[in-house]
Chain A
Amino acid sequence: MTFDYSLLIKYAPQLLEGFELTLLSWLGGSVIAVVLGFALGCGLAAGNRALVVPIRGYVEFFRGTPLLVQLFVAYYGGPNIGITLDALTVGVVGLGLYGAAYFAEIFRAGFASIPPGQIDAARSFGIPQWERIRHIIMPQMLVLVVPPAVTLLIILLKDTAVLSIVTVPELTFQVTGMTVETFAFVEPFAILAATYWAMTELVSWFGSRAEVRLGAYLR
């Protein structure tokens, strides 16, 4: 089996464009997931029934159904209820809404890990609220939140491949297109798998460095 590099050079523009879109949808989806997930996690931690019940429903639905089916509902069903969005928007927002359900649980667990007595104590010492958050809540919460958050970011990175099915022209989409046009199988899929593999290893390397730094105060 020979490896035809010229094929990759010929398709370099499409592959690069796909790679950019993969990065863009990952970053966009992750930002939405973290921000919305944080808000939902706060709601769950607040413990108000009127908040907790709908958020639980949201979390259960988005965690209990496949991302692909969620994307189908939004992309093919959206126009029926007057929401016509382009594939990329559906992909990024869909990925964000999906990830938010998982982040909500991560942040909820983070908040739950801080004993309420610490906050009471800090308050009675007269420590202002932003300093309580900055010096007491955040350092303890981040140690707990970062490892699962990194795992989730890696899952979201890999799930961007699913966006190709709703025609987002990201890397997997470009590679399957290339396979159809050239009948070449080895070259496109080798570069595809290698790219994802390198990216996930890189993210997980940064993640373990962050864990070490955030946990430094514990030693």
Chain B
Amino acid sequence: MAHVYDLPPTVTVLLIGTATTLAVSIIGNAIGLILAIIICVMRLSLNRAARVAGAVYVSFFRGVPLLVQLLIVYYFLPTIGLDLPPFFAAVIGLGLCTAAYQAENLRGGFLIIPRGQAEAARAFGYTRRQTLQRILVPQALRAAAPALINEMILILKASSLVSVVGVADLTRESQNIVARDLQPIKWYLIAALIYLVINLALARLGVTVEKRLNVGYGAVAV
């Protein structure tokens, strides 16, 4: 019976690296989405200070390279006494960065809803909460879905940079293999192909999700 431990060690190492890449991307995306909701609420808030803080956050995290952000998080955590494994610095760095993009995507979703809809809902006696829950959020999410999904896919590629802060992801593991058997073209191309396959699969999945979200709304499926 074929077992994962019977595979050549290089293949096992690449598979573990791929799993790490997926884990970093998924957790980074999850942190990013939660932060994005908070930042989006700040940017749409009536409070001027909250709006400004949200705008500065978005401008900074979209304006500075991800690699620089990862290095800052990686060096900064120990200075405040948090001596965590590199994995944590990586997912926090990815999360902080992608949150800025996702907040803008979400905000875009809310901005396309005509103002009259919220007013009409209030006139019909919907509470603030009901207006948000039943009228605004479902439409905003549907409108923002393509951009949200696209950014989630981009994080997979961006996650290759976590190899620099010592996370044993797909990129780092292929570097390790190359260091031993000195065949850079072969192993880096294999790593590239793995990224490509996951990317294409995620893009396909994204299209399916978008179609599902649009069912019954007369919107043209992509």
Q: A: which residues have CB within 8 A of B?
A: 60-61, 64-70, 72-73, 76-77, 80-81, 158-162, 164-165, 172, 176, 179, 185, 189, 192-193, 196-197, 200-201
Q: Does B67 contact A (CB under 8 A)?
A: yes
- In the complex, 19 of the A-B residue pairs with CB atoms within 8 angstroms, ordered by the A residue number, are A61-B192, A64-B200, A65-B192, A65-B195, A69-B174, A69-B191, A72-B175, A72-B188, A73-B185, A73-B192, A77-B189, A80-B184, A165-B67, A172-B68, A172-B71, A179-B75, A196-B63, A197-B59, A200-B64
Would you give the 0/1 interface string for B140-174, flagging 1 where the beta carbon is closer than 8 Å to chain A?
A: 00000000000000000111110110000001001
Q: Is the CB of B189 within 8 A of A172?
A: no
Q: Does B66 contact A (CB under 8 A)?
A: yes
Which bracket fits the contact residues of B?
35 or more
CB distance from B178 to the nearest CB of A (A): 7
CB distance from B48 to the nearest CB of A (A): 21
Q: Is the CB of B67 within 8 A of A164?
A: yes
The interface residues of chain A lying within 8 Å CB-to-CB of B199 are 64-65
The interface residues of chain A lying within 8 Å CB-to-CB of B196 are 60-61, 64-65
Q: Is the CB of B185 within 8 A of A69?
A: no
Interface centre among B60, B183, B184 (most CB of A within 10 A): B184
The interface residues of chain B lying within 8 Å CB-to-CB of A189 are 68, 71-72, 75
Instruction: Tell me the complex Cα distance, A158–B62, Å.
Output: 9
The interface residues of chain B lying within 8 Å CB-to-CB of A196 are 63-65, 68
Q: Does B47 contact A (CB under 8 A)?
A: no
Instruction: Tell me the complex Cα distance, A107–B185, Å.
Output: 31
Instruction: Tell me the complex Cα distance, A80–B189, Å.
Output: 13
Q: Is the CB of B67 within 8 A of A172?
A: yes
The interface residues of chain A lying within 8 Å CB-to-CB of B62 are 200
- Which of A73, A176, A197 touches B64 (beta carbons < 8 Å)? A197
Q: Is the CB of B67 within 8 A of A66?
A: no
CB distance from A18 to the nearest CB of B (A): 13
- Is chain A's binding surface mostly helix, strand, loop or mixed? helix
Would you give the 0/1 interface string for B72-106, flagging 1 where the beta carbon is closer than 8 Å to chain A?
A: 10011001000000000000000000000000000
Closest residue on chain A to residue B192 by CB atoms: A65
Q: Is the CB of A80 within 8 A of B64?
A: no
Interface centre among B63, B69, B75, B200 (most CB of A within 10 A): B63
Q: Is the CB of B68 within 8 A of A69?
A: no
The interface residues of chain A lying within 8 Å CB-to-CB of B178 are 76
Q: Is the CB of B68 within 8 A of A77?
A: no
CB distance from A37 to the nearest CB of B (A): 18
Q: Is the CB of B188 within 8 A of A66?
A: no
Q: Known: A189-B75, A197-B59. Is A161-B164 also a contact (CB below 8 A)?
A: no
Name B197-216 residues within 8 Å CB distance of A: 199-200
Q: Is the CB of A70 within 8 A of B192?
A: yes
Instruction: Tell me the complex Cα distance, A162–B171, Å.
Output: 13
Closest residue on chain B to residue A199 by CB atoms: B63
CB distance from A138 to the nearest CB of B (A): 29
Q: Is the CB of B189 within 8 A of A73?
A: yes
Q: Is the CB of A66 within 8 A of B63?
A: no
The interface residues of chain B lying within 8 Å CB-to-CB of A61 are 192, 196
Would you give the 0/1 interface string for B37-70, flagging 1 where the beta carbon is closer than 8 Å to chain A?
A: 0000000000000000000000110111111110
Q: Is the CB of B184 within 8 A of A73?
A: yes
The interface residues of chain A lying within 8 Å CB-to-CB of B164 are 165
Q: Is the CB of B171 within 8 A of A68?
A: yes
CB distance from B220 to the nearest CB of A (A): 17
Q: Is the CB of B188 within 8 A of A69?
A: yes
The interface residues of chain A lying within 8 Å CB-to-CB of B185 are 73, 77, 80-81
Q: Is the CB of B65 within 8 A of A172?
A: yes
Q: Known: A73-B184, A185-B75. Is A66-B195 also a contact (CB below 8 A)?
A: yes
